[in-house]
Amino acid sequence: MRILVTGGAGFIGSHVVEGYLAAGHEVAVIDNLSTGRRANVPRGAALFEVDIHARETERIFAEFRPEVVNHHAAQSSVKVSTEDPVHDMEVNGAGTARIIELAARYGARKVIYASSGGTVYGQPEILPVPEDHPIRPLSPYGVSKYAGELYVQWGARAFGLDYTILRYGNAYGPRQDPTGEAGVVAIFIGRMLSGQPCIIDGDGLQQKDYLYVGDIVRANLLALERGSGAVLNIGTGRGTNVLEIFRAVEAAVGGPAAYEHGPPRPGDVRAVWLDVRRAEELLGWRAEVSLEEGIARTAAWFREQRALTPPGTTPRG
């Protein structure tokens, strides 16, 4: 199967590319490398270093003629979205509209869209939160990711495009950026390995659904043939607070470690974890990697990267 992955040089997207290649598919990647890295793209995938808004993107669709488009390209920072909501919507809303239009024009049969179960619902009324919960995002990022969902569903009505929308929990794993503002597991591992104290936003009791990236890959593989026309939560169904994440990372790294409290993050949801029964039913999927095992794998990867990184530089990826 020919699959085009947008954002395929990024943290999650590059793992999805690996999974598709391992399953024997032909994969092309579109990524402007604003946050992704060329080194993340595995051998066997063709990388096109272009923005999804660029004119060249249409040429890539016309030549590659993907059967499935997996859309991971996004502005993925809640903080950036609150500072520049217009740019956030241009990338996540308008960018998705363009990908849908091109997918339909050049004969794709399906779009798999990476959405955000951690932000689109806002502060849930019930936990775990089901897919039919009211949509009330607290950040522009949550608004723009939901706008992307609406464009995907519009593509089904206007062009007959099949789709599966995957609303991820809080992803973590190898290749996540330890120097950014998102991705607490990677940030904590990076700071602990560098001997720096961790910064915990607010009181640290905010709870999220932390999901290992390998489990996300399996959901994207299953969505190639299942989950037609479905919106699916992809998470563990369990909430974990930031202090618990700190202790788990400390154990994986070999602590002890120190932390300091910082101000709460604007637009952050206090508590959200996902009801994943629909994904179990329609995809045959459930998370398999425990938090402890996932953090241990992630810490081991970061240690390996540090061993390969020259002194005075920061391991990234």
Question: What digits encode the pLDDT tens for the residues 205-264?
Answer: 999 999 999 999 999 999 999 999 999 999 999 999 999 999 999 999 998 999 999 999
- Name the residue type at position 297: R
**Alpha-carbon torsion, ordered 153, 156, 35, 27, to 10 deg:** 150
Contact 232, 283 (CB under 8 A): yes
Confidence check: pLDDT of 312 > 80: no
Residues 105-130: tens digit of each pLDDT: 999 999 999 999 999 999 999 999 99
**Active site residue: 113, 141, 172, 210, which one?**
141
| Least confident range of 43-47, 119-123, 299-303, 310-314 | 310-314
**Identity at 137, one-letter amino acid code:** P
Residue with tokens 């579109």: 30
**Across residues 12-26, what is the average pLDDT?**
98
**Domains of the chain, each with CATH number or no CATH:** 2-171+211-234 (3.40.50.720), 174-208+238-273+289-308 (3.90.25.10)
Q: pLDDT digit string (tens) for 247-286?
A: 999 999 998 999 999 999 887 889 999 999 999 999 999 9
Residues 131-142: what's their mean pLDDT? 97
Q: Per residue in 55-79, pLDDT tens?
A: 999 999 999 999 999 999 999 999 8
pLDDT at 268: 83
With a pLDDT cut of 70, the percent of the chain lying above it is 96
Any residues with CB less than 8 A from the CB of 11 and at least 6 apart, and which? 36, 40, 171, 173, 175, 176, 177, 183, 213
Please confirm, yes or no, whether 146 is among the known catalytic residues.
no
Summary mean pLDDT of the chain: 95
Q: What is the largest CA-CA distance in the chain?
A: 56
The residue written with tokens 């080194």 in the block is 39
Look at residues 305, 73, 43 and name the one whose alpha carbon lies nearest to residue 179: 305
pLDDT at 278: 98
